[in-house]
Every structure is written in structure tokens, then in C-alpha cells.
Structure 1
Amino acid sequence: MTGQRQLLVLSGGHPYEAEPFAGLLASFTGWTVKHLIHPEAETAIAEGAAQDAAAILFYDMPGYRFEDGKAATRPPSFTYRRAIADHFARGGGAVAMHHAIAGWAEWPEWAEMVGGRFLYAPGEANGAAHLDSGYRHDVRYDAIVLDPEHPVTAGLPSRFPLCDELYLAPVWGAAKPLLRAGHAFVRDNFYSAAQAVAGQMFSNTGWDHRPETDLIAWEKPVGAGRLVYLQPGDGPAAYADPNFRRLLANALAYVAPDLAVA
């Protein structure tokens, strides 16, 4: 089909509802979609699976093993890292969605590409020490468009409601902020990720996390390409939301600019 582009979708490492997510992927127009799931995805990309992709949709959270109340981590293979760097170096684009901001805790360059990092344990991000990050499920909030003229936000209302998970996590290097959330990103509105891993879900006892930005979408250059990060996209409510679908379709078209928005 004229105008078709190759979209590589990566998932795995974090639970999600497969059938509704497949429905979201099936809604894309103008794309030929290839979906890879970790751990096999890491090997496939290292062997060249991303070479023909105009864009990659990262919906993965690889590099973790959760057991005994702790998060064990590992870095990606050198060949995987090189393949992702090569994708951006040749002008390929990417959208990193929701929990992808937590992926590859032992690959600092990934956090630099995304422009932020969700931490499951206290650690370093952007050269500074941080507590473990915060999460809050099923938050009802308004997404507020910051630049209605930007291709990623084109056709969206100036503000629209979502019900989704939000993160309290460090963000830096967002070259172009796109959306913010009408929600206070402060300790009292979130729960500790480290405590959740330890078996204490929905707890922030003794967790004195500092306030963080309310940005939930931004774009930035990576190599010769572009990356858009979208914090929305936790589950079926977001997958089916027409404004979220428009946002995601716009973002994919933007990072592969020779593909017109459907």
C-alpha cells in the first residue's frame, strides 16, 4: 500500500492487557506493524529487526527481575544498544509510552534518550541522587495541551479528560513540552515504587519524595531522529480513548515525518 511505513512495537517486562493493546495497534493506519516481546525482542533487534523500521513504539520495560521484594537489574547487550543507537543515527524516530521510561535501569543512555527516568529503587538520574519514584493508578485528570500548533497535539481539544496511571519521577531535557496533567505531582498524591516491590502496595509511609514536574508528554531530538514520550497509556481505558489514540497517531507520524497523519 502506498504510504505504508514499518512500525516496530516492543513490549514485555511490565504487565499489560494483551487483547486491548492489540486492538490499539490494529487501529493504526498507514503502518505495517511488527510486534516483538521481550526477552526475544532484545535478540531480534540485536540481529537487525529494527533496520527497516521508520519508527519504534517502546511499550516495554526490560532489564528487570522482581523477586524477594527487590528489583534485580541488568543492562542490554552491546549489540542491542548499538542497534537502537543506529536506528536514531539514520534518522529513525520513536515513541516511548508509559512504563518505557522505567526500562533498562543499567543503561543510562536510555534515560537520556527518553528525557527522564522512573526508579524502582533509590538511585541516580541526570547526575543527581533520587528516591524511588512514585505511581498512582486510575487517576482522573485533564491533559492540558501546551502547544496546539505542534503536530503531536494537532486536532486535540485544549484539554481533555483521561483516567490513567501517573508517575512522580525526574524529567530533564524535554526539548519541547507538549502536555501537562491537571494534577499535583507531590508526595501525598503518589505511592512508593520500592515499597510496592517489597509487597507494600499503595504505601508512602516514610517516603519523603520531592515534588516533580507535571509534564506528561514531550519531544526531543535523539541522534538524527526524534523521540516523543507519552506518559499516558497504562491500560484499556487509555487505549480506547479517542483523544489518546489521536495523540499516539500524531506522535508516530511526527517521528516519521514523511508519513502523513491519517
Structure 2
Amino acid sequence: MRSLLVLSGGHPYEEKPFEEFIHSLGDWEVTHLVHPEAEERVAAGAAEQADALLFYDMAGYTFADGRVATRPPAPGFVGAITRRFEAGRGAVALHHALAGWAEWEAWHDWLGGQFFYQPGEWRGVAMPGSGYRHDVAYEARVAADHPVTEGLPASFPVTDELYLCPIEESAVTPLIRAEGFAFTRDNFYSAANAVAGDMFSREGWEHPPESNLVGWEARALAAPLVYLQFGDGPATYANPPVRQAVANALHYTSGGT
């Protein structure tokens, strides 16, 4: 049996539904590591040994007293993931992994996008903090004939959290778009305000419109890196086309054998 390594931690989620979800994605021997252990075990070789790798983590943050502090990953973790990608062995990233490791610039360059909890810089351009919106009902529309979208309906309903943040469409292969919901400031809330204790607020926050991509393939050195924005909670975990897309992505990024 081929092996699947799942990394989580740094962001809350419902553990039992998520465990059921990751065991529904195919005939894998699943190892699930949670930070900080995940960082240590990857540095020791866990990611290089796994056939498939799934990031569902948002590491590198400490939230306390209305503030957020960030740190980079340990050099051993960076080296292990880099060696995997240099060898042409890919990975899948879900949902809040787009925010993880705010201080690891290469990670976001590879992903082709970044969710910012605080104002930052995206490819030389100053960016405000990103936006979030829970429980958005939208239509996920397949944008490309691709191994990740194989067997999916042309469109399917999803109710999930969406992000307003920079995505470099010119650097990725678009796979799935969110239709029926505008990716503009007035439809989202400020992540920076939420960190400061003011949830569901836009006060003092501006943000330019952004891409409606919720699924794409990027390139991480010599390897495919697929990002799917699905994954805020149990309703999404249980959505059959979402499960199919994630299963397809794991099969594809692991070499498809």
C-alpha cells in the first residue's frame, strides 16, 4: 500500500470529520502529523519517505492578546520539503495552507498565492491584510480538462469559507473557479481586524478585487503542487466532488501509479 502523509496544526478544525475525510481519499496508508511534531518529523525525513503529501496546516503563527507573531520554519523542515520538490515529487495543499509559514517566501512563490493575516508584500507589491468569509454557497466550475478535475461534474455546489487574497494567475494552471460570488472587498471581512478581536468587520480595511480561482496547479521546483481552497469544515469534507478532486490531486502529484 502506498503512503500518504498529512500535515495539520496551527488552525482549528473538527478532528473526527477530518480524520474520516483523509481516510476516504483512496487506498493509502495514512500518517497524520500535527505541529509542532509535524515540523520535527518532516525534518527527520517523513515527507521524503511518503508517496503522497497533503498540507492542511497553518504553521508559523502565534495569536495572542489581539496580535499575531510569525516565525519561519526550521531549516531542517525547509530542506526536507525542498529536496522532495527538487526530486520531482509533488504535494497537495488545502484551504488555510495558503496562509501557513508567512515568513517562508519560497513556499508562497511555489503555491502561487498567499493569504495575509497582516499587511505584507506580494511579489514586490504592498498588500493589505487578506479577507475571509465563512459559509459561502457558491458553484464550483471546472476550468480545465486536467487529471485533478477528471470525473468531476462541470460544476457542483459548495458551501465553504472563501478568501480574498492575491493569486498569481499567470504563474499557475487554473483548474476550478468559484462562480456566483464576487471576490471584492464588500463581500469579505478583514483578517487583521479579526486578529485584533473585531470579527466580521471591514472597518478601516480596503482590498482590491482578486481572482475567483479556488483550485490550481502550481510548480514547486521540479514538482507539481496543487492547491484547493476547499476545506473549512465537515460539510466540505463530506462533499463528494470535493473528495474526488482531492483524491485526484493526491494521485496526480504522487506520480499517478
Give me the TM-score of the superposition, normalised by structure 1.
0.95
Matched, 1:15 2:12: yes
Q: Name the CA distance, whole Å, in 1 between partners of 2:56 and 2:160.
A: 15
For 2:69, the equivalent position in structure 1 comes to 72
Q: Name the CA distance, whole Å, in 2 between partners of 1:152 and 1:87.
A: 20
Contact 1:111 1:117 in 2 (8 A): yes
**Identity within the alignment, %:** 58
Residues 126-180 of structure 1 deviation map (CA, whole Å, 9 limit, x = unaligned): 2210000000000000001111x21111111111100000000001154210011
**What's the CA shift for 1:30?**
2.4
Runs of 4+ in 1 over 4 A off after TM superposition: none
**What's the CA shift for 1:6?**
1.5
Correspondences of 1:52-67 after superposition (within 5 Å): 52-67=49-64
SS at match of 2:147: coil
**What's the CA shift for 1:224?**
2.0
Contact 1:174 1:219 in 2 (8 A): no
Higher mean alpha-carbon deviation, 65-74 vs 47-56, is at 47-56
Correspondences of 1:1-262 after superposition (within 5 Å): 4-147=1-144, 149-172=145-168, 173-182=170-179, 183-259=181-257
Q: Aligned letter for 1:23? A: E
Q: Name the CA distance, whole Å, in 1 between partners of 2:192 and 2:220.
A: 30
**What's the CA shift for 1:54?**
1.8
Residues 61-94 of structure 1 deviation map (CA, whole Å, 9 limit, x = unaligned): 0000001111100001111100000111112110
Contact 1:168 1:185 in 2 (8 A): yes
Contact 2:4 2:52 in 1 (8 A): yes
In structure 1, the gaps of 5 or more residues are: none
Q: Name the CA distance, whole Å, in 2 between partners of 1:211 and 1:258.
A: 36
In structure 2, the gaps of 5 or more residues are: none
Contact 2:183 2:209 in 1 (8 A): yes
Q: Name the CA distance, whole Å, in 1 between partners of 2:122 and 2:50.
A: 29
**What's the CA shift for 1:114?**
1.0
Aligned length: 255
Higher mean alpha-carbon deviation, 12-21 vs 24-33, is at 24-33
Contact 1:53 1:92 in 2 (8 A): no
Q: Aligned letter for 1:139? A: V
Contact 2:25 2:244 in 1 (8 A): no
Q: Name the CA distance, whole Å, in 2 between partners of 1:66 and 1:115.
A: 25
SS at match of 2:149: coil
**What's the CA shift for 1:220?**
1.7
Residues 193-234 of structure 1 deviation map (CA, whole Å, 9 limit, x = unaligned): 000000000000121111000011000221221100001111
Over the aligned positions, Cα root-mean-square deviation in angstroms equals: 1.0
